[in-house]
Structure 1
Amino acid sequence: MTTFKATGMAALAKVIDPELGVDIVGLGLIYDVTNDETGHCVVTMTLTMMGCPLTDLLADGITTALLALPTVKTVEINLVWSPAWSIARMSRTARLTLGV
């Protein structure tokens, strides 16, 4: 049986950071994704830097990707700064893609 977290992360892996060309899961921006019995989905995430000009664009992509899942009715994005993002959070594939 697949957990919602795995399903949610797979959906979020389709959201590409337009500036870097790498998915937001691979970048390590997504800390958690949950869905309750009412279909309310909460994404806990960070950004590579405060004041990122792509925040709204990423939020739209996240919302669209998750609302495409049959069990999701609403999406809430919880933007956090702790723990702070660093390149250590990136997947090996993302590091290779970006030459890090």
Structure 2
Amino acid sequence: MTSNETLRDRIEDTLKTIYDPEIPVNIVELGLVYKVDIKEDNVVFVTMTLTAPACPVAGDIVREVEEKVKEVPGVSQAHIQLTFDPPWNKEMMSDEARLELGFM
């Protein structure tokens, strides 16, 4: 396992501790995290979305993602890119999340 894989695992585990305040499922299982890129010097870029563009807690979620990813051992910087392309939909959720929320 390379150091990037280990760092990626730690980042993904951290992202699983962040929950959408309106839905009791973490942002990874919800399908809100589109991409995690680890660049030179362990600068991390997370591309993510929200369940709705007008999400009232958008700033809070993005801030929490940035703060928690920065705290992961080995991460030198964290940059969060919010996108709505493609727009989020229920099909992006993991099977576990859909089952937990009664969408299966």
Q: TM-score band (shorter)?
A: 0.7 to 0.9
More helix by percentage: 2
Give the CA RMSD over aligned residues.
1.5
**The one of 62, 66, 69 aligned to 1:66:** 69
The CA deviation at 1:99 is 1.3
2:69 aligned counterpart, secondary structure: helix
| 1:27 is the counterpart of 2:30 | yes
Q: Which amino acid aligns with 2:71?
A: A
Q: Which amino acid aligns with 2:32?
A: L
| 1:88 is the counterpart of 2:91 | yes
Is the Cα–Cα contact under 8 Å of residues 5 and 32 in structure 1 kept in the other structure?
no
TM-score, normalised by the number of residues in structure 1 = 0.88
CA deviations 1:72-100 (Å, max 9, x no partner) are 12211111111221100001111122111
Q: Give the whole-Å Cα distance in 2 for the aligned partners of 1:90 and 1:58.
A: 17
* Aligned equivalent of 1:11: 14
Which structure 1 residue ranges, 5 or more long, are not aligned? none
| 1:76 is the counterpart of 2:76 | no
CA deviations 1:44-91 (Å, max 9, x no partner) are 111111121111111122122212212212211111111221100001
Which structure 2 residue ranges, 5 or more long, are not aligned? none
More strand by percentage: 1
Q: Give the whole-Å Cα distance in 2 for the aligned partners of 1:47 and 1:17.
A: 9
The CA deviation at 1:24 is 0.2
- Quote the sequence identity (%): 36
